[in-house]
Structure 1
Amino acid sequence: MKNLYLRSAVALACALSLAACGGDDDGTMQLGGGVEGVTVAGLVLQNKGGPELKVEPFASSFVFPDLIATNTEYDITIKSAPSNATCVMINGKGKSSIYGVGSIGVRCTLKPHDVKGKVVGLTTGPLVIINGTYRLTIPANATAFNLTTESEDKKTKFGQVGETQAYGLSVLQQPPGLTCRIDNAIGVMGKADVDNILITCN
């Protein structure tokens, strides 16, 4: 009984850490791996076109129900991804050995969108607003803003919000001599940019 508990704990630890685990006493082993970034239902995996495996929201690992033998080829693919994310398979193709399977995983990234709106009455500046830990400085006389900024090489965007993620804008620093408020500052990102935010300063 003690050995059974130990083997179960080792199997769970292997799945969570994406480690390669050894097989069972009869030469069979679990086929699974880690999961990252799944927040809604819709992720479905298959091994070599076999039965579908649905991955639950917020799961950190997956395991196919059927054991595989040593020296068995596997080819895990993503049949469908959650509607709010794009997913990639990591090390999904390989061959089992006496040491187990490779470090298999699925990484999902929420589809990003802009948070933007209009600015009224910002005659002095700057105004600094935040969304979580992200901050944006808005200069004097601006009439619009967009939380999204780009790196110098324009390859990376910052400040976007993923689908189904909550956002909440607030003022970190008021402009000199003015008080600004933000309307429609709180919400949950849908399938398109948020563009109804209004900043009014007086």
Structure 2
Amino acid sequence: MKSSYLRASAALACAVVLTACGGDDGQLLLSGTISGVTKPGMILTNNGGSDFEVPVPANGTGLTRFIFPNRISSDDKYDVRVKSTPTNVQECKLFQNTGRAGFDVTTIEIVCTFKTQALGGTVSNLKNDLILVNGSDRVIVPAGATAFTMARVAQDAPYGVSILANPAGQSCTVANGVGTMGPADVNNVTVTCAP
């Protein structure tokens, strides 16, 4: 009878102080948001533990919420780090990624920026000013110019160089102006003006 009381007391003590008996309540979320993820390869860790690969958002925005699969306990320290990034990411900055859990952790923010590449090419027979566009980027190419440069474009982003305004008295055409930016600069866009 005495031993059953002892076992019951030990079980009660373990229930009251779960961590002292090797348990872990694991009831709290460890989560946040990531921007700038358009390809696989974003891997996070917490306290240097097991890897967690963040799924690529299906909607193509590059913005996604993440939730670590393993929950944490109240009063646990957390230290979320980026272990590896997709090939098109230049760098990631982390905000509110360390602390001690009191409630669900939902405010971690990871902001990633894309690698960018140059976009440009050549112009021939330009007698007057020409205006080129790529999305919202607008470039005036002066008369007599033989080359042009647009704003840098993020890797894996589409580009489309087109003519916004032909030079006075001329008509120009663009070749190789449309594509998806890869890991190398694009400098083969050609603009030919006539007469």
TM-score, scaled to structure 1: 0.77
CA-CA distance at 1:127 after TM superposition: 0.6
Equivalent residue letter for 1:53: F
TM-score, scaled to structure 2: 0.80
Runs (4+) of structure 1 exceeding 6 A deviation are none
CA-CA distance at 1:101 after TM superposition: 2.5
Equivalent residue letter for 1:181: T
CA-CA distance at 1:102 after TM superposition: 6.0
Question: For 1:190 and 1:173, how far apart are their aligned partners in 2?
Answer: 28
CA-CA distance at 1:100 after TM superposition: 3.2
- 1:94 and 2:94 are equivalent in the alignment: no
CA-CA distance at 1:60 after TM superposition: 0.8
Partner of 1:9: none
Question: For 2:68 and 2:186, how far apart are their aligned partners in 1?
Answer: 39
Map residues 186-201 of structure 1 onto 2, 5 A cutoff: 186-201=178-193
CA-CA distance at 1:88 after TM superposition: 2.2
CA-CA distance at 1:110 after TM superposition: 1.1
Q: Aligned pairs, how many?
A: 164
Partner of 1:146: 149
Question: For 2:160 and 2:26, how far apart are their aligned partners in 1?
Answer: 53
Partner of 2:36: 37
Q: Which protein has the larger Cα radius of gyration, Structure 1 or Structure 2?
A: 2
- The alignment-based identity, stated in percent, is 37
Alignment check: 8 A CA contact 1:29 1:67 kept: yes
CA-CA distance at 1:27 after TM superposition: 7.8
Question: For 2:160 and 2:178, how far apart are their aligned partners in 1?
Answer: 4
RMSD: 1.4
Question: For 1:87 and 1:110, how far apart are their aligned partners in 2?
Answer: 9
Q: Where do 5+ consecutive residues of structure 1 fail to align? A: 1-25, 148-158
Q: Where do 5+ consecutive residues of structure 2 fail to align? A: 1-24, 58-62
Partner of 1:5: none
Partner of 2:177: 185
